[in-house]
Structure 1
Amino acid sequence: MGTGLLNISLSGLNAAMAGIRTVQQNIANANTAGYTRQEVVQSASTPQYSGGGYLGTGVQVDTVRRIYDQFLTSQTQNYQTQLSAAEAYSSYASEVDALLGGSSTGLSTPLQTFFSAVSEVANDPTSLTARQQMISTANSLASRFNLLADNLQSIKTEINSEVSTIATQINSYADQIQSLNAEIARAQGSGQTPNDLLDQRDQLVNELGKLVNVSSIQQSDGTVAVMIGNGQPLVVGTAVRHVVAVSDSADPTQTILAMEIPNSTATEVIDPSSITSGSLGGLFAFRDEVLNPSIADLDQLAQSLADAFNSQHEAGYDLNGAAGTAFFSYSATSPAGTLAVVISQASQVAAASQGVSAAADAGNSGDASIGAVTLSETVTRPLADAPYTLSYNAGTVTVTDASANVVGSFTYTSGATMTFDGISVAITDGSGGIADGDTFTIDNSGAYSGPGDNGNALLLAGLQNEAVIGSSTLSEYNTALVGRNATYANSADTNVSNFTSLYQQSYDSLQSVSGVNLDEEAVKLIQLQQAYQAAAKAIQVSSTLFDAVLGAMQ
Structure 2
Amino acid sequence: MTIINNALSGALAAQLALSASSHNIANLQTKGYTRQSALLMAVGPDASGRSAGNGVQVTSLLRFSDNYKTQAMWRANSEQGLYSQSQPYLTQLESVMGDSSASLSAGIDDFFKAINAVAGDPGSTPLRQQVLTAASLMGERFNGLNNVFNSQLTSVRQQRGALVDSANSDIAAIATLNKQIIETQAGGVSASSLIDARDQAIDELSSKMALEVSNNPDGSRDVSLKSGQALVIGSMSGKLKAAATADSPQAFSITFANSTFVLDPSKMGGQLGGLTQFEQTTLLPLQEDVADLAEEIATRVNSQLATGFTGEPHPTLPGTPWAPGKPLFVYPLGDGASMLKTVAGFKAEDLAFSSDGTPGDTGNLQALAALKTKPITLTNIGAVLLSDADTQLLGKLAVDSKLNKAALKTTDTVRLQSINDWQSTSGVNEDEEAVKLVEFQRMYQANMQVISIANSLFDATLAMMG
Same fold (TM over 0.5): yes
Q: Which amino acid aligns with 2:10?
A: G
Indicate the SS of the match to 2:244.
strand
Pairwise CA distance, 1:255: 4.1
The one of 342, 345, 348 equivalent to 1:346 is: 348
Distance 1:138 1:224, change over 3 A: same
Q: Which amino acid aligns with 2:399?
A: T
**1:121/1:351 contact within 8 Å kept:** no
**1:299/1:334 contact within 8 Å kept:** no
The one of 526, 536, 542 equivalent to 2:454 is: 542
State the match for 1:274 in structure 2: 267
* Cα deviation code 1:286-338 (max 9, x no counterpart): 11111011011011011111000110011112253411111100226578823
The one of 68, 73, 76 equivalent to 2:73 is: 76
Q: Which amino acid aligns with 2:239?
A: H
Query: Whole-Å Cα distance in 1 between the matches of residues 7 and 43 of structure 2?
Result: 12
Pairwise CA distance, 1:236: 0.4
State how 1:136-147 maps to structure 2 within 5 Å: 136-147=133-144
* Cα deviation code 1:325-367 (max 9, x no counterpart): 111002265788231101532111111112xxxxxxxxxxxxx
Distance 1:336 1:485, change over 3 A: farther
The answer to whether residue 276 in structure 2 is matched with residue 289 in structure 1 is: no
The answer to whether residue 255 in structure 2 is matched with residue 260 in structure 1 is: yes
Query: Whole-Å Cα distance in 2 between the matches of residues 334 and 492 of structure 1?
Result: 33
The one of 484, 489, 502 equivalent to 2:401 is: 489
The answer to whether residue 314 in structure 2 is matched with residue 328 in structure 1 is: no
Which structure's residues are more often strand, by fraction? 1
Q: Which amino acid aligns with 1:515?
A: G
State how 1:313-462 maps to structure 2 within 5 Å: 313-318=305-310, 320=312, 321-331=322-332, 337-342=338-343, 343-354=345-356, 448-450=357-359, 452-462=360-370
Question: Larger Cα Rg: Structure 1 or Structure 2?
Answer: 1
Distance 1:335 1:317, change over 3 A: farther
The answer to whether residue 432 in structure 2 is matched with residue 520 in structure 1 is: yes
Distance 1:199 1:261, change over 3 A: closer
**1:302/1:336 contact within 8 Å kept:** no
Distance 1:44 1:341, change over 3 A: same
Distance 1:110 1:336, change over 3 A: farther
Query: Whole-Å Cα distance in 1 between the matches of residues 121 and 256 of structure 2?
Result: 71
The one of 412, 421, 426 equivalent to 1:500 is: 412
**Higher mean C-alpha deviation, range 287-296 or range 544-553:** 544-553
State the match for 2:8 in structure 1: 10
Distance 1:83 1:149, change over 3 A: same
Pairwise CA distance, 1:50: 3.7
Q: TM-score, normalised by structure 2?
A: 0.92
Q: Which amino acid aligns with 1:38?
A: Q
Indicate the SS of the match to 2:85.
helix
Q: Which amino acid aligns with 2:82?
A: A
Stretches of structure 2 that go unaligned for 5 or more consecutive residues are 313-321
Query: Whole-Å Cα distance in 2 between the matches of residues 334 and 495 of structure 1?
Result: 37
| RMSD over equivalenced CA pairs, Å | 2.0
Which structure's residues are more often helix, by fraction? 2
Query: Whole-Å Cα distance in 2 between the matches of residues 534 and 13 of structure 1?
Result: 8
State the match for 1:358 in structure 2: none
The answer to whether residue 126 in structure 2 is matched with residue 126 in structure 1 is: no
**1:229/1:270 contact within 8 Å kept:** no
State the match for 2:46 in structure 1: 48
* Cα deviation code 1:17-48 (max 9, x no counterpart): 11111111111222222222221111011322
**1:317/1:351 contact within 8 Å kept:** yes
Pairwise CA distance, 1:193: 4.6
Distance 1:503 1:212, change over 3 A: same
Pairwise CA distance, 1:228: 1.9
Stretches of structure 1 that go unaligned for 5 or more consecutive residues are 355-447
Instruction: Give aligned-pair identity as a percent.
Output: 33
Pairwise CA distance, 1:192: 4.6
Query: Whole-Å Cα distance in 1 between the matches of residues 110 and 336 of structure 2?
Result: 21
State the match for 1:309 in structure 2: 301
Q: Which amino acid aligns with 1:301?
A: L
State the match for 1:414 in structure 2: none
**1:107/1:144 contact within 8 Å kept:** yes
Query: Whole-Å Cα distance in 1 between the matches of residues 454 and 189 of structure 2?
Result: 33
**1:171/1:243 contact within 8 Å kept:** yes
**1:170/1:211 contact within 8 Å kept:** yes
**1:319/1:348 contact within 8 Å kept:** no
State how 1:200-211 maps to structure 2 within 5 Å: 200-211=197-208
Query: Whole-Å Cα distance in 2 between the matches of residues 30 and 112 of structure 1?
Result: 62
Query: Whole-Å Cα distance in 2 between the matches of residues 337 and 540 of structure 1?
Result: 92
Query: Whole-Å Cα distance in 2 between the matches of residues 282 and 246 of structure 1?
Result: 17
Q: TM-score, normalised by structure 1?
A: 0.78
Distance 1:549 1:179, change over 3 A: farther
Query: Whole-Å Cα distance in 2 between the matches of residues 157 and 268 of structure 1?
Result: 25
* Cα deviation code 1:198-234 (max 9, x no counterpart): 2221121111100111111111221111112511111
State the match for 1:88 in structure 2: 85
The one of 59, 62, 71 equivalent to 2:59 is: 62
